Amino acid sequence: MKNTVTSFMAAKGKEKLSMVTAYDYSTARMVQESPVNAILVGDSLGMVMLGYENTLAVTLEDMLHHCKAVARACRDPLLVCDLPFLSYHISVEDSVRNAGRLLAEGGCEAVKLEGGVEFCQEIRSLTRASIPVMGHLGLTPQSIHAFGGFKVQGKSIAAAQKLLDDARAIQDAGVFSIVLEGIPQALARRISSELAVPTIGIGAGAGCDGQVLVWHDMMGISARKPKFARCFAELAPTFQEALRNFDAAVKSGEFPSSEYCYQVEQEEEIAARIK
């Protein structure tokens, strides 16, 4: 079944939503063959695919490149793509142009942006241009320097109130869903119960309307796994074993055996006769 922004909103209170990140065609094919509701081409690709320390260096061209690859395989999951740092911060016109490119060229069906009440104007302009927007509040990685590191947010009454106010404001501005990242579970539960749109949690507990994980974290292949990320498969040792076996088979001459070679008539004679 095709997941859309409307099926996402209709799921609130009825069915939990699942979302995973993907950054390439082959991974997106696997998600396409699963019941997962949505694929996020996250700017986390800067860290897990490109090896940056954080997401700040990721460009719109990076996002377009990866989004196009994912879109070639993604049919049933809702495809959401992150607006990277500085692609929606400078002007409303810029935000619409950049988000529009992610839909028109990248092939996604919605964009995600980080931030609260201060981005309501951008959210209104995007939705006016028929660009569906997913919000993102809490430990928003593009604000890592403002936060002084990857730190849990919403720990004081004032900070928790600001997050609830932000959630209400961006909902009113038109987001169809909100990612809640790195906040206490009681706060995430409270925000989720206050909103009409579904919340998707990551490091925010089970009270959200859905959950998202980064592919590399859930598959056990990331360099640094955050505390909140559960490994649903431990694939790094499997990959390491495959690499050791390949190396040994190459060095012993056991690979490639004849089953992995093309058989051509008179090949010995042809090879012998060429000068």
Phi, psi of 253 (to 5 degrees): 85, 5
CB of 47 to ligand KIV, least distance (A): 8
Angle at 81 between CA 211 and CA 46, to 5 degrees: 90
From the list 109, 114, 122, 181, the catalytic residue is 181
Q: Specify which residues 74 forms β-bridges with.
A: none
CB of 2 to ligand KIV, least distance (A): 22
In this complex, which beta carbon is closest to ligand KIV, that of residue 174 or of residue 182?
182
In this complex, which beta carbon is closest to ligand KIV, that of residue 53 or of residue 93?
53
Q: Which two tokens stand for residue 220?
A: 């056990």
Tracing tokens 């012998």 back to the chain, one arrives at: 272
How far is Cα 154 from Cα 164, in angstroms, rounded to an integer?
9
In this complex, which beta carbon is closest to ligand KIV, that of residue 103 or of residue 137?
137
CB of 242 to ligand KIV, least distance (A): 26
CB of 265 to ligand KIV, least distance (A): 53
How far is Cα 62 from Cα 44, in angstroms, rounded to an integer?
11
CB of 232 to ligand KIV, least distance (A): 16
In this complex, which beta carbon is closest to ligand KIV, that of residue 23 or of residue 189?
23
Peptide bond into 256 cis (omega under 30): yes
- Nearest position to ligand KIV, beta carbon: 42
Please tell me whether residue 135 adopts helix, strand or coil conformation.
Answer: strand
Radius of gyration of the chain (CA): 22
118 given a catalytic annotation? no
How far is Cα 43 from Cα 59, in angstroms, rounded to an integer?
9
How far is Cα 242 from Cα 192, in angstroms, rounded to an integer?
43
In this complex, which beta carbon is closest to ligand KIV, that of residue 85 or of residue 95?
85
Reference 196, options 10, 5, 3, 7; nearest CA is: 10
In the complex, the residues that contact ligand KIV under the rule CB under 6 A are: 21, 40, 42-44, 82, 136, 179, 181, 202, 212, 214
Catalytic residues: 181
